[in-house]
Amino acid sequence: MKIGTAVLLAGTAVAGVGMARLLQEAKSQWERTEATLARNQLDWLTQISTDPAVASKWAPAGMAVEEYMGLMSANSLLCSFSLRDRLGRVSKRQRDLYASMIMDSDVARRYWDKFGHLRVQEAVGDPHAEQFNDALVRAADRVARADRQDGPAPA
């Protein structure tokens, strides 16, 4: 091998390693930013789901403060789940499983019925967020179908 070729190959290898390092650093920075933003949102949701004075200022007109606090607690769970999903810590199979487990909860379904459309609107144009919401929609639909088949609970 000629010396010039060897130098060129070595330079290419060093540049490749440098580029991989830059890409990894960019990914790490993105993950830190996502986690920070999620932490801020989760802190807010903790306040609104545990402090009636705060919740009363934000509850939609006509909704009981206690109900709103419960719905925001469900929102907090969905936000934590969403963060894990965005960071790649959840497989598609796990996403579907966790979505089903969450939607088995009455308060999560009530949250989704009242505010799910906002999550869907926020996700437009973000394929990953759209897939996440699709899993929640499928799980909510599954529970609703099961409820219709079972009929009303005996009194």
For each of the chain's 155 residues, which pLDDT tens digit applies? 677 676 666 667 666 667 677 677 777 787 788 888 888 888 999 999 999 999 999 999 999 999 999 999 999 999 999 999 988 999 999 999 999 999 999 999 999 999 999 999 999 999 999 999 999 999 999 998 988 887 654 44
Q: Look-up: residue for tokens 């960071």?
A: 87
The b/e string for 51-71 (b: 16+ C-beta within 10 A; e otherwise) is eeebbeeebeeeeeeeebbbb
Res 155: pLDDT:
44
* Helix 92-103 × helix 106-123 angle, to 10°: 130
Eight-class DSSP state of 125: T
Q: What is this structure's pTM?
A: 0.78
**Residues recorded for the chain:** 155
Res 130: pLDDT:
96
> 73 with 46: CB under 8 angstroms?
no
Res 79: pLDDT:
93
Break the chain into its structural domains and give their ranges.
Answer: 34-148
Res 6: pLDDT:
65
